[in-house]
């Protein structure tokens, strides 16, 4: 994702140039997203969960396919200061996982046919990564689809957080948003272990140091 450093890195966020840059979008083709869309092109209405920031383009695209769209920005919820509790070590802090799951992703089992995970796993606080993926497993129907994006090690620790907007069945628009920092980089084995309860994973090496993964529940 080096092009974002050129596009958004030259001006401070407080300048007018920085604000203009932050509103710009860059298009990228996505094989993983194209396969995801092919998988949900069914005549019976599907129920799709988008776990990124609210995007009118995403809602319009999904409902335009005849599906029902739900949205939760789990990164905003996960970074709520109210979730912080005392850790095991004196003076340390950690996330109250039970409180997070009590207030978020509150759906009945087998609710969703498909989930757009985007790159949330790379930015979630560590204590939430495994519990969130396990919870998504419960609320996704058998054979349901998930799409996840994962940074490669070449992305660098300063890889910017981006919002994903659906532009077409094979095209996404990325918009830089600087409120979250990359927490980790998964390799293929880490990803396989994270989704070990799921039926299968298919990897696509996307552009800009992003690994795209289509996951079947």
Q: DSSP assignment, residue 77?
A: H
From the list 179, 181, 180, 200, the residue with the least C-alpha distance to 191 is 200
Tens of pLDDT along the chain (217 residues) come to 444 444 333 344 444 444 445 578 999 999 999 999 999 998 788 999 999 999 999 999 999 999 999 999 999 999 999 999 987 777 788 999 999 999 999 999 999 999 999 999 999 999 999 999 999 999 999 999 999 999 998 877 778 899 999 999 999 999 998 789 999 999 999 999 999 999 999 999 876 789 999 999 9
Residue range 131-174, pLDDT digits in tens:
999 999 999 999 999 999 999 988 777 788 999 999 999 999 99
Torsion sign over Cα 170, 152, 101, 104:
negative
Please give the structure tokens belonging to residue 186: 């998964």
Residue pair 12/34 in contact (Cβ under 8 Å)? The answer is no
CATH number of 27-216: 3.40.50.150
Q: pTM for this one?
A: 0.88
Tokens representing 4 are 């974002």
* Structural domain spans, the chain: 27-216
* N-term to C-term CA, the chain: 29
CA distance 136 to 141: 10
């Amino acid at each position: 994702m080096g092009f974002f450093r050129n596009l958004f890195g030259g001006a401070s966020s407080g300048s007018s140039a920085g604000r203009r840059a932050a509103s710009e979008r860059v298009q990228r083709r996505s094989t993983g997203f194209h396969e995801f869309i092919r998988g949900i092109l069914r005549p019976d209405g599907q129920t799709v969960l988008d776990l990124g920031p609210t995007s009118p383009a995403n809602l319009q695209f999904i409902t335009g396919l005849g599906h029902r769209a739900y949205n939760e920005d789990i990164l905003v919820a996960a970074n709520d200061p109210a979730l912080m509790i005392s850790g095991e070590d004196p003076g340390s802090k950690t996330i109250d996982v039970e409180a997070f799951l009590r207030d978020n992703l509150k759906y009945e089992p087998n609710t969703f046919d498909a989930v757009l995970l985007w790159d949330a796993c790379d930015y979630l606080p560590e204590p939430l990564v495994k519990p969130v993926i396990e919870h998504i497993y419960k609320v996704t129907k058998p054979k349901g689809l998930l799409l996840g994006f994962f940074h490669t090690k070449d992305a660098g620790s300063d890889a910017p957080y981006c919002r994903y907007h659906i532009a077409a069945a094979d095209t996404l628009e990325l918009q830089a948003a600087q409120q979250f920092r990359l927490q980790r980089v998964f390799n293929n084995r880490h990803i396989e272990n994270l989704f070990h309860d799921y039926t299968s994973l298919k990897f696509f090496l996307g552009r800009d140091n992003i690994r795209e993964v289509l996951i079947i529940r």
